Amino acid sequence: MEIDPYPSVIPYGRQWIDESDIAAVVETLRSDFVAQGPKVAAFEAALREVTGAGYAVAVSSGTAALHLSCLALGLGPGDCGIVPAITFAATANCLRYVGAEVAFCDVDPRSGLASPERFSEVLRRRPEAKVLLPVSYSGSVPDLASLSKLAKEAGAFVIEDAAHSIGASYGEGTPSGACEHSDAAILSFHPVKHVCAGEGGAVLTNDASLARRVRTLRSHGIEPREDWSYDQGELGYHYRMTDLQAALGLSQLSRLPEFIARRRELAKRYQNAFCEEPFVSRIQIATEDEQSSRHLFVIHFRNEQERRAAYAFFHRHNVRVQVHYMPVYRHSYYEGSESRLCSGAEAFYATCLSLPLYPLLKDEEQEYVIQCLRAFLES
């Protein structure tokens, strides 16, 4: 079947900034504060409301949030953390920033999620591991209750990487980021994520002293005092979020229900389309999780050759599909790290492809993506 390229480029993800978001930023630009003002605190309060976490500390990126979580938990040289092999590199890098080692665990070859069993396998080899970093890959929250039990038995912390899952829920409807089963969770406000703040991130926790530590570390390690003086008690960073970013984040956060509803609607349309031939016998959907926030819509081909060919076909037709992710241990920086048991991650990586999914994706653009896949499968 022949199909013409789409007249404009369809990305795999992008932000949706509307006039209300622009007005919120302009209002802040006209106000007395553009850096450290009331919007950061208001954004943090709104994040607590949405996630149910007791404390939220806004920072400059999701990566900074991961770094500060590791620091605040006291992780350092000689420690080891367990990270799912399928994630963005930042989930592992935060351990390296504090001088800790990374041990990668395997994931389910379809969902890309690391189950408690996969973490447990690595814990048997590395019983000294001090932290587990489960990732809510694509917007699906892993089995945090069991992971927390496992971590407690091992004397390890849990930092949830919830960069993909604000607005998702798990179990009986607990919101992602509530930190019911973790010491801390992190969010990202990069433009392809649900809530865009230009760039930005947050640490969520129910532990008051951990939140205080993250707050101090995001601003040079300096403790403010009542009067003019201040003291830098330890070496911190400049990882603060600005009021401009927070104004955008706050406005976007008020639109989160609309964003999630549209993402779920688009995901359902893909699911319905792929129930039929030629799709049903040639591709599989990575997850049908109804509680997912649908950050990514991932499909699997039968083998790596088909995935490679499909990637090239989509790109020739102006559809910028992506691969999320190459197992982190394959990056040259991580060469030599243990990866011998990650056959699930290898299978996942070989066959996965993320289709366009973002609230601004028009129905006709999605229809084109589906027809493009049909044309590929019938070619």
Ligand X SMILES: Cc1ncc(COP(=O)(O)O)c(C=O)c1O
Chain residues binding ligand X by CB under 6 A are 61-63, 87-88, 90-91, 135, 161, 163-164, 188, 190, 201
As measured in angstroms, the least distance from the Cβ of 188 to ligand X is 3
Judged by beta carbon, residue 67 or residue 181, the one nearer ligand X is 67
Judged by beta carbon, residue 157 or residue 189, the one nearer ligand X is 189
As measured in angstroms, the least distance from the Cβ of 282 to ligand X is 28
Judged by beta carbon, residue 90 or residue 123, the one nearer ligand X is 90
Judged by beta carbon, residue 352 or residue 377, the one nearer ligand X is 352
Closest residue to ligand X in the complex (CB): 62
Gap between the Cα atoms of 68 and 66, Å rounded: 6
Judged by beta carbon, residue 109 or residue 112, the one nearer ligand X is 112
Judged by beta carbon, residue 142 or residue 201, the one nearer ligand X is 201
The DSSP letter of residue 215 is H
Gap between the Cα atoms of 93 and 70, Å rounded: 11
Residues in the chain: 379
Angle between helices 343-351 and 304-316 (to 10 degrees): 30
Q: Where are the alpha helices (DSSP H) in 170-207?
A: none
Judged by beta carbon, residue 109 or residue 201, the one nearer ligand X is 201
Count the neighbouring beta carbons within 10 Å of the beta carbon of residue 346. 18
Residue among 84, 170, 68, 86 nearest 133 (CA)? 84
Peptide linkage before 325 cis (omega within 30 of 0): yes
Query: Is 280 in a helix, a strand, or coil?
Result: coil
What are the DSSP E strand ranges found in the chain?
A: 55-59, 80-84, 101-105, 131-132, 157-161, 169-170, 174-175, 184-188, 201-205, 222-224, 230-232, 284-285, 297-300, 352-355
As measured in angstroms, the least distance from the Cβ of 6 to ligand X is 25
As measured in angstroms, the least distance from the Cβ of 303 to ligand X is 26
What Cα–Cα distance (Å) separates residue 342 from each residue in 179, 329, 348? Answer: 28, 10, 10
As measured in angstroms, the least distance from the Cβ of 15 to ligand X is 13
Gap between the Cα atoms of 36 and 41, Å rounded: 9
As measured in angstroms, the least distance from the Cβ of 363 to ligand X is 27
As measured in angstroms, the least distance from the Cβ of 320 to ligand X is 16
Structure tokens at 145: 């209750």
As measured in angstroms, the least distance from the Cβ of 354 to ligand X is 12
Judged by beta carbon, residue 63 or residue 351, the one nearer ligand X is 63
| Cβ atoms of 143 and 171 closer than 8 Å | no
